[in-house]
Amino acid sequence: MSSWIYIDGTFYDKENAKISVFDHGFLYGDGVFEGVRAYHGRVFKLDEHVDRLFDSAKVIALDPGVSKEEMKQIILNTCAKNKIHDGYIRPVVSRGVGDLGLNPYLCKKATIVCIAGTIQLYPERYYQEGLKIVTVATHRNFNESLNPRIKSLNYLNNIMAKIEGMQAGAPEALMLNPAGMVAECTGDNVFAIRKNVLYTPDVHSGSLDGITRRCVMDLAKARGLQVVEGPMSRFDFWVADEFFLTGTAAEIVPVVELDKRPIGDGLPGVITKQLIADFKAFVKEEGTPIPTLV
């Protein structure tokens, strides 16, 4: 089946979907994006994802050139064009075409791209057996340099950490902030459970304000768990009863080992499994329906 890519108002097949080599998204990673999921013919948390996309754009002084409602329609139409029932959507807003200099104000118009397809971040066995991960030396960006709350096209910070983790034989890697406190993994938020309290680093520690993260926190509260956001060290994860990651692509995946130290009894935790089940049930009910294109 052909994939149809939205670029600035037109759909192109995969082979012909192209942008200019002078686009500053390509030249400098100057732009923002979102990762969005569709479940059961509905786009999950569409409003929240578009709000975060526009927040990221505002912080880097990037005008998308469309309204939030227009962006939502672009996402929905891209899903409809590709007949997405369950899938993954990647809306991208780049600075647009400019010259070889850094000056973003010479880019007259943003480029908008939207891709809809499928994604599988981790093999199924990791959801059953749990991940074994390591801490890497690459720190998360300083908030004052490139704030991690911006979902930027420049993902080199995360990629360098991912390389370190994979070279150590781990499928995912834990990143610390410059103060040595836990920020997040290379592509996922992190949670620890101890004595029926759910802990997660706050966004000021260098974590993305994840949409799945927020959803899981709500589900945990509905189960009666206390949820605490704040600074966390590796100590807090090493001594945790349970440990899991969350992300749009990953959903919820257990972690059973950090830096060769088993988490709890070394198996996916009971509460983690309950939250996975709660999340699967929740996504069946929530979302913006994908239209049928005539």
**Catalytically active residues, by annotation:** 151
**CA–CA distance, 239 with 231 (Å, rounded to integer):** 15
Residue type, 96: G
Q: Which residue do the tokens 């997660």 mark? A: 200
* Among the listed residues 41, 50, 121, the one whose alpha carbon sits nearest the alpha carbon of residue 92: 50
**CA–CA distance, 289 with 147 (Å, rounded to integer):** 33
Residue type, 156: L
For 5, the token pair is 């890519």
Q: Which residue do the tokens 């400019």 mark? A: 98
The count of other CB atoms within 10 Å of the CB of residue 212 is 23
**CA–CA distance, 173 with 189 (Å, rounded to integer):** 11
